[in-house]
Copies of this chain bind each other. A is one copy, B any other.
């Protein structure tokens, strides 16, 4: 599903965030991406979502070489990925329901079906009772869960999440990670960047470890 081949990313500022990363995530796999602050985890996820492009090397997502996706095809490309952002990225002037519905509206889903899917997604993160609230009136943990609901509402084949439990208490974190596990069980490929080492050690999925822009340890499976 995801394949990195000797990927390097140097930001305009001159800092090198990734220095030759190669790995492979199979269709239907689920893995955690860990590493210290500034290691390049978010950068790696951004390359998958075509928010950034690699300086060198090849990134393949769902068998498409991202280098060959032109600007105007990016929206279509992104619609097959569900993304959970570190800083939630919710629209503050739309209700929780409308936020979760956004990707479905963009895909012009029929109203009836849209409604069902949005409510199902909200239910899964335990926020159905807040569907008519605005994000600003939610605690940050609640906002984070709205972001997760939005990412999965369109039932994408690939979900990537950047520290989806950074603002959650341990109990809720475990629950959310299990939710991702359930998506994985029904065939979704999942890649999660997280700092919560204790939590993931309990869950036993594959771990990718990044440090200073390089993949280290047994996790690195050269493409």
Chain A residues close to B by CB (< 8 Å): 11, 13, 15, 34-39, 41-42, 86-87, 133, 137-142, 163, 166-173, 195, 197-198
Contact = CB atoms under 8 A, between A and B. Distances in A.
B11 A139 contact: no
A168 B195 contact: yes
Given A163-B167, A167-B195, A142 B37 contact: yes
Nearest to A36: B169
A86 B143 CA distance: 12
B167 A86 contact: yes
Given A11-B137, A38-B138, A167-B195, 19 more contacts: A34-B169, A35-B169, A36-B169, A36-B171, A37-B139, A37-B140, A37-B172, A38-B139, A41-B139, A42-B139, A42-B140, A86-B167, A166-B166, A166-B167, A168-B195, A170-B197, A170-B198, A173-B195, A198-B198
Nearest to A127: B38
A163 B86 CA distance: 14
